[in-house]
Amino acid sequence: MIRHGVSLAVLLASSAGVEALRCQGGLVAPGDHKVEVLAACGEPVFREEVLEYPFRVVPGGRLAHVEFLPIGLVTEEWVYDFGPQRFRQLLRFRNNRLAVIETLSKP
């Protein structure tokens, strides 16, 4: 039962991403390099680097455990605010490539 709930949560989280974002300088999409996003969208209103430690769940008979991988990954998050007529957008980069575009609510 719990596993099904986790799978549903993962499914919902992955479907929340936006496939592409239109900026004044063009369209950006996951896979684009940070330089391409800057050229198309300009400077974000907010930037933050986040250190993530990837993990995996290791089955162990009746009990599973979480195993953290020894290398931290730097993820960069940028926020764009294109004005009062559009929602703010959160762009998440991994390895200098756009990985996720999320629509944020208005402040």
Q: How confident is the model over 10-32, as pLDDT tens digits?
A: 333 344 567 999 999 999 999 99
Can you give the pLDDT at residue 50?
Answer: 87
pTM exceeds 0.85, yes or no: no
β-pair type (73-80, 89-94) = antiparallel
Residues contacting residue 52 through CB under 8 Å, at least 6 positions apart: 72, 73, 74, 75
Say how many Å lie between the first and final Cα of the chain, rounded: 36
- Structural domains counted in the chain: 1
Q: What is the pLDDT of residue 17?
A: 66
Least trusted range by pLDDT, from 17-26, 43-52, 59-68, 98-107: 59-68
**What is the residue range of 66's domain?**
2-103
Which tens digits make up the pLDDT trace of 71-101?
878 899 999 999 888 899 999 999 899 999 9
Is the CB of residue 39 less than 8 Å from the CB of residue 64? no
The Cα-based distances of 27 to 8, 19, 57, 74, 88 in angstroms read: 30, 10, 37, 25, 16
Confidence of residue 107 (pLDDT cuts 50, 70, 90): low
